[in-house]
Structure 1
Amino acid sequence: MDLLGSSPPTSLYPLPVNCSSSSSPPTSASPSLASTALFCALLSLLSLLGITGNLYTLVLLLRRSRGRRRRGASCCFRIPVPSCLAPTTSPSSSPTSSPSSSSSLHLQVLSLALADLLYLFTAPFIVYNSLVSEWAFGELGCRLILSLDFLTMHASIFTLTAMSLDRYRAVAHPLRTSSSSSSNLLRVGLAWGLAVALSLPMMITLHLEDGENHKGQLCVPAWDEQSSKVYLSVLFCTSILGPGLAIGALYATLGRLYWVSQTRPAWAAGNNSACPPRAPKPKVLLLILGIVLAFWACFLPFWIWQLLPLYQPDMLPAVPVGTQVTVNRILTGLTYGNSCVNPFFYTLLTGKQKRSRQVPAPANQLCRKSPPLQ
């Protein structure tokens, strides 16, 4: 993940993964050709697997979306009844199995898969740049390709936050009217809009510079150390810290609701005139939590590596250049690995929704067929 572009070792920023610096120290301090070849092969494999998996997810979602539209065309109308008042026909029934909730979840998974695909499509450029040790895609490529890191990272975590919020609302407030398709689309669009806004400063400031002795060009941001420290600190809060606290609070509340639903006597819920919160569906919630935890596990180490030199400037010079490049490559492979693993979560998550919809329809969905032609 090239968060900071292709800065030289003498830059204010940590070494990038592609290490495309013509002003690098002596060759003995740099990673060997075998190390570079291994990194490029691993990144290419992760990219191939991730693109295949996410394309499969997209095709699967589109096919299921067409199937839902065909099934919906067979009914003239439905008489909705609050889910807590409907008879329980199966242990699998839950707020997440309603058509609107399922449509919202599929749209969010679609957003996550698109973000993964955009990020994975940058891998060939990183591989090529690692081999030639020079930025070869012009200033437009410098601005677009390296800014996709920020864009896709924020689009993913904002979508995951919205997904967690939807699960919370479906459990804690089952009587509220389900969101419409337009509002679901608006939330996903807002997540991407905020991601674009946060990535714009990097996109605007990235530019090409000649390396030392005019050997090759480097893609670097045009700001000083203090500006970089402020900007990256803000992005750390918007991509890791802030969403982490919000999602943690939502899941802590859901955990409490689940505990109450399992320990409260059956007669206690019947005394309430309004519908109590529904018991969460553990498998669906755990799958969403798994996607969130995988995101943090893959991106948090890279963020720590990027921020440490800004807050501990004496640390980086003490680390050999070859070690810095190796650490960057390992952590970059970890971020691409996240996009490679996600499709397995997406398939399991949408599969749970499909099985939920296959449960016999309860009495709160009544379809009136047209009378036969006379």
Structure 2
Amino acid sequence: MDESGSENLTSPSPGSADELIISSTFGTLLSFMYVVGVSGNVYTLTVMCHSMRFAASMYISIINLALADLLYLSTIPFIVCTYFLKDWYFGDIGCKILFSLDLFTMHASIFTLTVMCTERYLAVTKPLDTVQRSKGYRKATAGAVWLLSLLLTLPMMIMVNLQETRGGSGVKRMCAPTWGPEAYKIYLTVLFSTSIISPGFIIGYLYTKLARTYLESQRNALSKKGSRRSPKQKVLLMIFTIVLVFWACFLPFWIWQLLRLYSRSLQLASHIQTCINYLVTCLTYSNSCINPFLYTLLTKNYREYLKNRHRSFYKYTSSFKRRTPSLQSSFGKSSSNQYDFLLPSKDMQVK
């Protein structure tokens, strides 16, 4: 979707053979992304629903991310159809849904990633509190993410309407916002802040704190087993990779939108603007195609971490049971060891 230049998306004018080639290439590429992205995210949802018993927090978040990707990809058939038919055939309701759905899913994705980073941070710094959180709490958090995303999207849903213009070639229909330029500029600036800037500051702060925590933990562990990276750290690295991919795919889109809003001196030929629109649009949809592969790596590393944790726990309990009755004489020491097992510096729990 191209919020600030909706007419470019919903009512492309007939042009030369070059424009037809560009539009066909764009449509073909989007269709390919649709097939790959939908297949990957449906597969992700299927796997996640069977894996919910392992760890509610991680898998609920991944399900939310996959659902957001699927909803975003669902707009592709409407866009491709519009570009080939050179008109809008989906009515006023279609305008409101299409032009708000991508903003809705964009915020749902980045808010979910922010929640995931916050959960990882709390699991490291306050593991016992994290263990006590119920599955209902995590589902409520996921619901709050979708509700907040919907509230931020409502103005777009309300203010975008279908407009008809009469010309020499007949009636042209397009989706366009009904508010003034200044109000629209303010609204898009707010959305840029809520989808890119604010989550970026929060995630950056959390990962800076986590990096310091892990550096201290590795220094303490160097004398034991070296600096081998634990699966838990791989999980954090994969979450950060998903965040970076999100920014890489959506930041050019937002820069292009804001540049056209704030730079009145920007003078580009029509075909150049069309090509840039195509590129940034394809880039945003590519995020939904890349994500399923990252989710697979993330859950693989997370299951590896859980298995290692369970193995360590069973090894610990087995050795505890094999101890001699003289254990009673050293009860204080054993209690201390058991408590150390739960400390973040010893075993930073991730749930």
Give me the TM-score of the superposition, normalised by structure 2.
0.82
The answer to whether the 8 A contact 1:294-1:338 is kept is: yes
SS in 1 for 2:129: coil
Number of the residue aligned with 2:125 = 172
Number of the residue aligned with 2:156 = 202
Q: In structure 2, what is the Cα distance between the partners aligned to 1:238 and 1:131?
A: 33
Number of the residue aligned with 2:322 = none
Q: In structure 2, what is the Cα distance between the partners aligned to 1:245 and 1:31?
A: 43
Q: Does residue 1:153 correspond to 2:106, yes or no?
A: yes
Number of the residue aligned with 1:109 = 62
Where relative contact order (Cα < 8 A, 6+ residues apart) is larger, the structure is 1
Amino acid at match of 1:104: S
Number of the residue aligned with 2:226 = none
Number of the residue aligned with 1:310 = 261
Q: In structure 1, what is the Cα distance between the partners aligned to 2:11 and 2:41?
A: 29
The answer to whether the 8 A contact 1:153-1:239 is kept is: yes
Matches within 5 A, 1:1-374: 1-4=1-4, 6-7=6-7, 16=8, 18=9, 20-21=11-12, 24=13, 27-28=15-16, 32-65=19-52, 68=53, 102-178=55-131, 179-213=133-167, 215-264=171-220, 281-315=232-266, 318-359=267-308, 360=311, 362=313
Residue 174 and residue 132 in structure 1: after superposition, are their counterparts in 2 closer, same or farther (change >3 A)?
A: same
Amino acid at match of 1:6: S
Q: In structure 2, what is the Cα distance between the partners aligned to 1:308 and 1:255?
A: 34
Partner deviation per Cα, 1:43-95 (whole Å, 9 max, x = no partner): 00011100000000000011223xx3xxxxxxxxxxxxxxxxxxxxxxxxxxx
Amino acid at match of 1:181: K
Number of the residue aligned with 1:72 = none
Q: CA deviation at 1:129?
A: 0.4
The answer to whether the 8 A contact 1:54-1:113 is kept is: yes
Q: CA deviation at 1:355?
A: 2.3
Q: CA deviation at 1:211?
A: 2.7
Partner deviation per Cα, 1:90-114 (whole Å, 9 max, x = no partner): xxxxxxxxx5xx2101000000000
Number of the residue aligned with 2:338 = none
Q: In structure 2, what is the Cα distance between the partners aligned to 1:119 and 1:169?
A: 30
Q: CA deviation at 1:365?
A: 8.1
Q: In structure 1, what is the Cα distance between the partners aligned to 2:165 and 2:287?
A: 33
Amino acid at match of 2:139: L
RMSD over equivalenced CA pairs, Å:
2.1
Number of the residue aligned with 1:87 = none
Q: In structure 1, what is the Cα distance between the partners aligned to 2:317 and 2:20?
A: 64
Structure 2 stretches lacking a partner, 5+ long: 224-229, 319-351
Structure 1 stretches lacking a partner, 5+ long: 8-15, 69-98, 268-278, 367-374
Q: CA deviation at 1:262?
A: 1.6
Q: In structure 2, what is the Cα distance between the partners aligned to 1:106 and 1:48?
A: 24
The answer to whether the 8 A contact 2:72-2:101 is kept is: yes
Q: CA deviation at 1:215?
A: 2.5
Partner deviation per Cα, 1:161-216 (whole Å, 9 max, x = no partner): 00000000011122324221011001111110000000000000110111352532
Q: In structure 1, what is the Cα distance between the partners aligned to 2:18 and 2:178?
A: 27
Of stretches 305-314 and 187-196 in structure 1, the one that deviates more from structure 2 is: 305-314
SS in 1 for 2:265: coil
Amino acid at match of 2:171: K
The answer to whether the 8 A contact 1:3-1:150 is kept is: no
The answer to whether the 8 A contact 2:232-2:302 is kept is: no
Identity of aligned residues (%): 45
Q: In structure 1, what is the Cα distance between the partners aligned to 2:277 and 2:243?
A: 22
The answer to whether the 8 A contact 1:171-1:280 is kept is: no
Q: CA deviation at 1:361?
A: 5.9
Give me the TM-score of the superposition, normalised by structure 1.
0.77
The answer to whether the 8 A contact 1:143-1:206 is kept is: yes
Q: CA deviation at 1:144?
A: 0.7
Partner deviation per Cα, 1:277-327 (whole Å, 9 max, x = no partner): xx9932101100010000000000000000012111221xx1011110110
Q: In structure 1, what is the Cα distance between the partners aligned to 2:312 and 2:261?
A: 57
Q: CA deviation at 1:2?
A: 3.4
The answer to whether the 8 A contact 2:231-2:302 is kept is: no
